[in-house]
Amino acid sequence: MARKMLVDEEMNQTNQEEAYYDFDLFVIGAGSGGVRAARFSANYGAKVGICELPFHPISSEVIGGVGGTCVIRGCVPKKILVYGAAFGSELEDARNYGWELNEKLDFNWKKLLHKKTDEIIRLNGIYKRLLSNAGVKLFEGEGKIVGPNEVEVTQLDGTKLSYSAKHILIATGSRAHRPPIPGQGLGITSDEALSLEDLPKHAVVFGGGYIAVEFASIWRGLGANVDLFFRKELPLRGFDDEMRAVVARNLEGRGINLHPQTNLTELIKTDNGIKVTTDHGEELIADVVLFATGGRLPNSKRLNLEAVGVELDNTGAVKVDEYSRTSIPSIWAVGDVTNRMNLTPVALMEGTCFAKTVFGKEPSKPDYSHVPCAVFSIPPLSVVGLSEEQAIEQANGDVLVFTSTFNPMKNTVSGRQEKTVMKLVVDAETDKVLGASMCGPDAPEIMQGIAVALKCGATKAQFDSTVGIHPSAAEEFVTMRSVSRRITCSGKPKTNL
Can you tell me the mean pLDDT for 62-87?
A: 95
Residues 6+ apart with CB under 8 A from 413: 96, 97
In this prediction, residue 18 carries a pLDDT of 53
Is 365 among the domain residues? no
**Residues 23 and 49: beta-carbon distance below 8 Å:** yes
User: Is residue 12 over pLDDT 80?
Assistant: no
Residues 348 and 402 in one domain: no
> Predicted confidence band at 497 (pLDDT cuts at 50, 70, 90)?
low
Residue 79 annotated in ligand binding? yes
- Confirm whether 34 is domain-assigned: yes
Q: Has 440 been labeled as part of a binding site?
A: no
Helix, strand or coil, per DSSP, at residue 42 = helix
Same domain, 210 and 315: no
Element (H, E) at 421: strand 420-427
Task: Assess whether 167 carries a catalytic annotation.
Answer: no
Give the residue-averaged pLDDT of 6-18.
42
Q: What is the mean pLDDT of residues 121-139?
A: 97
Q: pTM for the full model?
A: 0.93
Asked if 35 and 114 sit in the same domain, the reply is: yes
How many CB atoms lie under 10 A from the CB of residue 109? 16
Say if residue 274 is in the same domain as residue 155.
no
CA separation for the pair 348, 460 (Å, rounded): 30
The answer on whether 336 is annotated among ligand-binding residues is yes
The verdict on whether residue 168 carries a ligand-binding annotation is: no
Asked if 289 and 433 sit in the same domain, the reply is no
Instruction: Identify whether 349 is part of a domain.
Output: yes
Instruction: Please give the Cα distance from 366 to 389 (Å, whole number).
Output: 25
Q: Is 213 annotated as a binding residue?
A: yes
The DSSP code sequence of 151-178 is EEEEETTS-EEEEEEEEEEE---EE---
Is 493 among the domain residues?
Answer: no
Judged by average pLDDT, the poorest of 28-32, 57-61, 181-185, 348-352 is: 57-61
The predicted structure's pLDDT at residue 435: 98
Predicted pLDDT of residue 315 = 94
Considering the domain boundaries, does residue 4 fall inside one?
no
115 lies in which domain range? Answer: 23-176+297-359
> 249 pLDDT exceeds 50?
yes
pLDDT at 16 over 50: no
28 and 122 assigned to the same domain? yes
In this structure, is residue 54 part of a structural domain?
yes
| Whether 106 and 170 share a structural domain | yes
| pLDDT given for residue 177 in this prediction | 87
Q: How confident is the model at residue 362 (pLDDT cuts 50, 70, 90)?
A: very high
Q: In whole angstroms, give the CA distance from residue 148 to residue 66.
A: 25
212 is in an annotated binding site: yes
Q: Does residue 14 register a pLDDT over 80? A: no
Distances (CA, A) of 476 to 216, 219, 291, 473: 29, 31, 37, 6
pLDDT of residue 63: 85
Q: In this predicted structure, which of 61-65, 184-188, 272-276 has the lowest mean pLDDT?
A: 61-65
Domain boundary among the residues 338, 359, 380 is at: 359
CB burial of residue 373 (10 Å; 0-12, 13-18, 19+): middle
Residue 104's pLDDT is: 79
Whole-number Cα distances in Å, 167 to 85, 130, 131: 44, 21, 18
Contact indicator for 431, 447 with CB cutoff of 8 Å: no
Residues 44 and 92 in one domain: yes
Residue 273 has pLDDT above 80, yes or no: yes
- What amino acid occupies position 351? G
Give the residue among 204, 223, 212 at the shortest CA–CA distance from 85: 223
Give the CATH number, domain containing residue 436: 3.30.390.30
Q: Where are the alpha helices (DSSP H) in 20-170?
A: 32-43, 68-73, 75-94, 109-133
pLDDT at 2 > cutoff 90: no
Res 173: pLDDT: 96
Same domain as 278, residue 315: no
21 in a labelled binding site: no
Does residue 405 belong to any structural domain of this protein? yes
Write the pLDDT tens digit of every residue in 214-248: 999 999 999 999 999 999 999 999 999 999 999 99
pLDDT given for residue 105 in this prediction: 81
Give the strands of the sheet with 381-385, arranged side by side: 373-375, 381-385, 433-439, 420-427, 399-406, 485-487
Last residue in a domain, options 255, 271, 293: 293
* pLDDT reported for residue 79: 98
DSSP 205-258: EE--SHHHHHHHHHHHHTT-EEEEE-SSSSSSTTS-HHHHHHHHHHHHHTTPEE
Is 465 one of the annotated binding-site residues? no
Instruction: Please name the residues in contact with 224: beta carbons below 8 A apart, sequence gap of 6 or more.
Output: 199, 200, 201, 202, 203
| Domain finish residue from 262, 293, 324 | 293
Write down the pLDDT at residue 474.
Answer: 97
Number of structural domains (the chain) is 3
pLDDT at 62 over 90: no
Clarify whether residues 67 and 168 are in a common domain.
yes
User: Side chain identity at 37, as an amino acid letter?
Assistant: A
Residue 497 placed within a domain? no
pLDDT at 76 exceeding the cut of 60: yes
Q: What is the CATH number of the domain that holds 152?
A: 3.50.50.60
Q: Are 259 and 312 found together in one domain?
A: no
One domain for residues 410 and 470? yes
The answer to whether 360 is annotated as binding is: no
pLDDT in tens, 296-317: 999 999 999 999 999 999 999 9
The reply to whether 295 sits in an annotated binding site is yes
- Cα–Cα–Cα angle for 316, 319, 322, rounded to 5 degrees: 150
